[in-house]
Chain A
């Protein structure tokens, strides 16, 4: 399940399986959940019955009724097929997940609190939450739990698709383990926290299969509207029977059913659940598991993103960005000394000094003289350097270097102090460089903002989403980074309580908040946030509190999750608008055909100049069925999403799906009519 393994949308085996499933879904008991398509199916049954009667009695137009019946069945079938194919894409994933869930044996400790490991061999299915089990290297963890003792390397590829092992240990934020993953080293004791059938993997399977799919709030509301529209058109068509009777037009039931089915919103009705499943699927393929569809919708509505500074906005480490030489020292001299002094510093910060010196001055690392002695960086000394005989080059924290030089902070040159102050004020970290007892200058270490992140935030702002940086830094540093990254607000020296408070304040102002976190102390904020993304590496508490889990544990994804949520809603809206605006053309196809026998002058309304009344009605029905198939790829892929303001999105989508939906069926129906007339089908 890695991000790159996209199952082909129209794999042949998948198609065949979806087709079988589509037929199975024709069961009216299952279709009842979808009123629009259910009404279509009733219509299809009715017309089929009438067709058989016409065949039996040799009356009417069985050729015409038969074709209408066939296309009505196709309409229903295309709708169930759309749902089946959307589900099918999750099925393969579910199958591979299931393999890791197969019945495993577990060693349950009889006396969990005793140091002595007395255990009994039980099936994982017999375990209960609270049991403590012993899992050793090479064994599979039976159920979700928390390590109570020991530390182990664990392969979580079954869930994350990432084969590099992760370290899990008792206590702290890395104690959660997931059932179905494999212990690679050592032996751990795990307290089971989930009952069999309710583990993370079980939930994932249910999710990707769409088995327990609940309709999301917005989907439910949309179904209500679609049912209402179906009812309205049902009224219009049923009453038409009386009105036509008055006018002396005998309108056959077949034609009335055809009119009804083309008017009710079958396009969106047929694709609605496929859109929802595909949206969820997009998230899963993005390696994010949402515990409910509601969370995906909420992601589209998010107004404020709480982003951790480290890893999301900045690279994890501070990097050298500038050499500030003292008067009388060239920048090159400073860079050379810094380069030499950093030879003994293997930390990312030390390497960044080397990298900067090479980049700015093209310095290569000179071969070290025999006599050179490296002074490696140590957390205690907080400096590194190089001794060349008597010459001692040092680089490190300002106070450490001053101590090395034996100078008090009061005696340093004013320029040095000014440079150090300036760097500190800008949110950076100053490092001093000394060579042979002389202060050469200062290295500016700073949090490096990820390239492109500023533009991302600008895009988010255009979409109306505020970004808030959360950091443990002091307010001065935080403010400097915040302004450089272009976030709208920041939370400095943030404690978990601060986060929770901030979320509550924003929510009180009517805004929806998304955040991510991994620690147990993040759990309240994750639960409070409207979209809480827990990291897979996080604690069980965090994973329970959030409504999404990111299997890659990448906090930057929050931005993409919002995009996926928006795309889901947009797709739904676009196809609804398209479906509704289609009706205009269908009226112009069917109504003149309906009444032209009684009132030949009604031909004036036959704007499309359709061949005959039969071909007009048939063309509308066929168009109505084919448009569902034609839009399946769009429903699965989602409407193209770009981060721009709502007004711009609306203008574009209204032009494509509103106006397009108005105009397109005129052309489509005309083309089908031409084909039908040409093939002598009507």
Chain B
């Protein structure tokens, strides 16, 4: 670890913090229905959409209607994307004459982009035509992110409102998230990426002659626009198979810093939005602090583990001071690779600029754990915030009693109904991740997909299901996931991870919204103090992470202790 490395990490995180406040406040105004500086330009467009779709923008929905709208919209999105992928061969803009996708891969990919996971069981440049990329995947990149923001706003309103079961209008939230937040930011980031050297063209590929005189075909396409929303919407599905490690997706250290910021920007701003809308910006800061604390700890662990290197590399005569550079890009270096690893999994982004399979066992444990915690640090756009709200509710419930009052969060009493729904939500991740991993570990046909045996093989399985259920989408690699078993089970894991998680959370929001807001007093459990931040961190680790400890012990932990004895798999 070097001072320069830490300064780079600090610079990116500080930039994120600096933009989080204005962006968070902007979104608070936007989703409270107030005017923003973009209204003169975009409001007519927005109204036009409502008129076209026949939406009454001021008619709010209860949680059930909101959930129904979200599910219907997602189902339609899934159907459209599935058809595009299946019929790719018949669609225009297909210079490479790429055929349609097989059923299981099309299902997996459609679910993947729909749920903001962007797990890719295929290599982008050899599977997807520019049409599929732009009209299929990029559309879902926007919409799945906007859906996440909309859901987060519905949950926020549960605390901002009292005595009503109305959580807002899904169509309005969707439209505003896309039009006022994602689109302007995506345009800015795409332009910045073009300036930094990322291609943006409809040309399929160019030919080049290498120094050895060989012919090389370099795939091209609308990369910058795809890359911008991939990062901003915490989607993570790369244009190229190599994702953000590819020089045309992420050409330099500077672009690397930019795309890390882009991943974090909205998710870090949403707690501020939450705080603003619920009337306690301090609450937003407390949530953001807990996210930041764990994220920095995760980054430090990866950074330390990777720069410590491995005894194998030292035995091969490599400079131990360089650490473990396998699978990393020289132009990013250890620090910014470590930050990318932590951020992309702390968020539900899943873009990678480093091959996670090549991380040291401890370095690989961190992204796995971050995904298993439920992608809340700071989590996917929207999903991170509502996941964090669930943890806040649980923290307040467990420890809140200790001040001698029945628990309340932001003035809302937390009772049996809320707890039942919160528990239902947190149950999903261990059930899906551990259930499918365990089943795959016993299934010989699934094990045939593994590149490695022993604990490392187990890590590959565990990683895949953690990534799918957490809607992350990054891959440990080393696992050939393009098989009917994995395409189907990972698809189910992604779906459960998104919808089975968010439905109870929405129901909880509905229950909370209708409760009166109890006035705060010195007897109220303090939820904005440093102590609460510490408590929240503890609850996330103990209630969110401890159940994965046995599985992790058999995977990366045992691999780490074996590494010292030069045992590999």
Contact = CB atoms under 8 A, between A and B. Distances in A.
Interface of A: 217-218, 220-222, 224-225, 227-229, 231-233, 235-247, 249, 259, 263, 297, 300-301, 303, 461-466, 509-512, 565-567, 569-570, 572-574, 576-577, 580-581, 583-584, 587, 591, 594-595, 599, 601-602, 604-605, 641, 645-647, 649-651, 653-654, 657-658
Given A510-B518, A573-B401, A654-B531, A246 B419 contact: no
B404 A599 contact: no
A569 B405 contact: yes
B216 interface: no
Given A243-B554, A245-B441, A650-B526, A583 B542 contact: yes
Nearest to A592: B553
Interface of B: 162, 394, 397-407, 411, 414-416, 418-420, 423-424, 426-427, 430-431, 434-435, 437-439, 441-442, 447, 454-455, 457-458, 516-519, 521-526, 529, 531, 535, 538, 542-543, 546-551, 553-554, 557-558, 561-562, 564-565
A601 B561 contact: yes
Nearest to B544: A232
Contact of A595 (B398, B529, B553, B564): B553
A568 to B, nearest CB: 8
Given A225-B423, A246-B442, A591 B405 contact: no
Given A242-B441, A303-B521, A651-B531, A572 B401 contact: yes
Contacts of B562: 599, 601
Contacts of B523: 303, 463-465, 645-646
B515 to A, nearest CB: 9
B429 to A, nearest CB: 9
Contacts of B406: 217-218, 297, 300-301, 569
Contacts of A243: 434, 437-438, 441, 458, 550-551, 554
Contacts of A601: 558, 561-562, 564-565
Q: Helix, strand, loop or mixed for chain B's interface? A: helix
A658 B399 contact: yes
Nearest to B435: A239
Contacts of A577: 398-399, 402
Q: Helix, strand, loop or mixed for chain A's interface? A: helix
Contact of B522 (A218, A259, A263, A462): A462
Nearest to A238: B438
A220 B434 CA distance: 28
Contacts of B535: 654, 658
Contacts of A567: 404
Given A242-B441, A646-B522, A573 B402 contact: yes
A239 to B, nearest CB: 4
A235 B547 contact: yes
Which 4 pairs show the lowest CB-CB distances between chains A and B? A464-B523, A573-B401, A566-B404, A228-B423
A245 to B, nearest CB: 6
A228 B399 contact: no
B545 to A, nearest CB: 11
Nearest to B541: A584
A141 B2 CA distance: 87
B561 A236 contact: no
Contacts of A246: 441-442, 447, 457-458, 554
A220 B517 CA distance: 22
A599 B561 contact: yes
A573 B458 contact: no
A146 B547 CA distance: 61
Given A246-B442, A605-B553, A595 B558 contact: yes
A236 B434 contact: yes
Contacts of B561: 599, 601-602, 604-605
A591 B549 contact: yes
A222 B416 CA distance: 7
Nearest to A641: B404
23 contacts: A228-B426, A229-B423, A235-B430, A236-B547, A236-B548, A242-B442, A243-B550, A247-B454, A297-B406, A300-B406, A465-B523, A511-B519, A566-B404, A570-B403, A576-B398, A577-B399, A580-B398, A587-B549, A594-B550, A601-B562, A605-B553, A605-B557, A646-B403
Contact of B414 (A221, A239, A242, A259): A221
A242 B558 contact: no
Contacts of B548: 236
B538 to A, nearest CB: 7
A613 to B, nearest CB: 14
A51 B565 CA distance: 38
